[in-house]
Structure formats: C-alpha cells, structure tokens
Structure 1
Amino acid sequence: NVFVTQMLAASVGIKLCDSVRRILMYTKRTDASKSFYAFARGVFPIHELCGTMTAIELAKRDLLGVDLPLWRILLPAVFIHGMANFRGMKPLFKWNSSTPWSEMQLSPWNVADDSTLGQMVSKGLAKLMWLIILGRVLGYCIKNYYLVKRQAIKRTTTYAGKQAAFSAELAAADYLKKTKKKGMGNQD
C-alpha cells in the first residue's frame, strides 16, 4: 500500500530527526550511555505506529471513498503519540540532565536502581500496561491494513463502475459490526 509506505518513510525520518535532536541536546559530552539511549529511542515504535494508523485512515478516505473528516483521520495517532509523550514526560529543568533515558522510563543496565519491591512492581505494571496498549495498536494496524486492502481490491474488481453497490456493502458491513458489538454487550 502506497499510503503506508509513504507514511512509514515520513515517520522514520521524523523519528531520526527527533532522536538526533534529543541525543545532542539532552545528553552531556561525558555521558557514556548515549548509544543505549539512541538504541532505545530507535526501537520504540511510536512514530511508526502513529504513521501507520494515519495512513490506514487516509486509505479508507481516498481508496474506499469513505467520508472521513480530518479530525477522524488524525485523532487516533495524535492520542497515542500524546500518551507516549505524557508517559515519559519530565520537568523542563531535567531535560539537560545526565539521565536522558528517564524520559522513556528506561534505565541502562549499568545504573543501579534503589527502588523497593513495591516501586518495582508498580513500575513493572505500568510498563506492562503500556506494552499491552502498543500491542493492541499494532493489532489494529494489521487488521485494518488487510481489511482496507481487501475492500480496495473488491472496489476495483467486483464493484468496478458500481459505486452505489460498493457503498451499500461498506454500510452493511459497518452495520453488522455494530450489531455484533451490541449483541456481545447484551450477553455479558
């Protein structure tokens, strides 16, 4: 999908610039853990997931003809990115600290941690919840990528020249999905 490829390329470029800026601005010259910080920022998939979510919504609008307002296209990615920013937020006076990795709530392996067992469990649960959120976002991206791809193929083959029939099928599929969710809610 061209949309996903272009958005991922843009996301990786933004991530590179953001990581370089943070490493150069927020670390000291004598900091021995710059490589750890750079690696940890490179592995963290927020930019890529947000770019993929935006690309999928753009594909729904442009390929399938679904009427989506701009806020509906951008809101999921902005929300997830905002959660990631607030998760690792630290005060302005700490930005130029000797521990820039605290922004991501990670610490290098060679730094001692004086946390009690309760604090370690609390931190571990918070990190587990964040991992679950990222896993769900990844699942959303994979599921909707294949759904949009399959519907785009149907639109260009089965429903070629029959826009009304294709729109009716999309509306019926959306209605069935909502009905299925209501049915599951009533069973509980």
Structure 2
Amino acid sequence: MSTTPDVLVDPVALREQVKSKYRDVATHPTRTFHFHTGRGLARRLGYDKDAVAALPDRAVESFAGVANPFAPRLLAPGDRVVDIGSGAGFDTFLAAQQVGPTGSIVGVDMTPEMLEKSTATAAELGLEQVEFRAGLAESLPVEDSWADVVISNGVINLCADKRTVLSEIRRVLKPGGWLQFADIANGLPVPEGALRDIDLWTG
C-alpha cells in the first residue's frame, strides 16, 4: 500500500469494500444494513414528500444518504448539476425535478450495479437531461467549469483522498458555483490506528 500523509488507507482497497457494500444495496435493497435506506430514510431526512412520492420505487429503494443536500437551497431551472456518488439516482432525479428540461445533470458513480439501475430508471422516466457516467470522485468525468452546482450525499467521507476530491469539485464548478453536500463528520480526534482501519471506514 502506498499512501501520502493525508491518505491513511489504500484508496483502491477502500473503493473495493465500498463497491461491495453498495452493490448489495443496489441489488438487494430490502436487506438490513447498518444504515437506513429507502423512503423511510428520505422521510426522516426531511425531503419534500411530494417530490419523493413522484419517484418510482426503484429510484428510492436503494437510497442511503445521510442528509438532504437540497435543504440549504433548491436548484434553479436550467442549472447544470454534477451528483458525485449518485448511486441509484435518488438525489439526481430530485435534482431533475428542480432544474427542469432546460437543465442538465451528470450523475457519477463507481458501482456498475448502481449505474445500471439509475440509467434504467432515467430511461423509464424519460429524463433526457439526466446522464449517468462511470467514474470516481477523485477523477470526475466532467469537463472544467461545467457545473453550476455539485451535490453529494454521504460519499466524500468514504473517499480516502479528500483533498483530491475537493480539487476535482473545484475544477468542474463554474466560478461562483455552489457545492451542496451532505456528509458525516467527526468533531473529536480519531486515533491514527482507527483511521488506518478500512473496516471502520465502511462499518
């Protein structure tokens, strides 16, 4: 394993564990996980109930976010949006409702099963302004200064190299663009041994 001082675990090994976990969430959404999922979670996190109700079950059942990235502000019609770690597309599809047909949304995810599910749902909903791309948060498949808004939900905490992730977000955002993300943070010191334990990163 090769790491920098800011990267305390092997990024490749961590990604493989994360993909394994979320592969199960995509293909077996009714299983019990160590985190909440689905419509019940969306309700607890304060999402607009009518917006969520408008989505089919396959768009909601694999949702596993940690908060509501639209709570600070709604997106504007016509916005270009990047959703990092888009999963099965829950936040992406809600973003599509907000930006409308003149907007454009790119969802980026590294788990093939999530991408297959989200792409099929977008086609089912006829959302021509939505595209899902395979990629990493550390190397976004999006051109420079393309996005008005970047959203993410419970993803950055699962990335080993957060400096690179934030650098990529800055790269794809237009000057004056918005970053609206929901995530997990710890306000207390964490022992280095725990930081180096991949199993603790993924639960």
Tell me the TM-score range normalised by the shorter chain: under 0.3
Bigger-Rg structure (1/2): 1
Q: Quick check: which one's strand share is greater?
A: 2
TM-score between both structures, scaled by the size of structure 2? 0.22
Q: Quick check: which one's helix share is greater?
A: 1
TM-score between both structures, scaled by the size of structure 1? 0.24
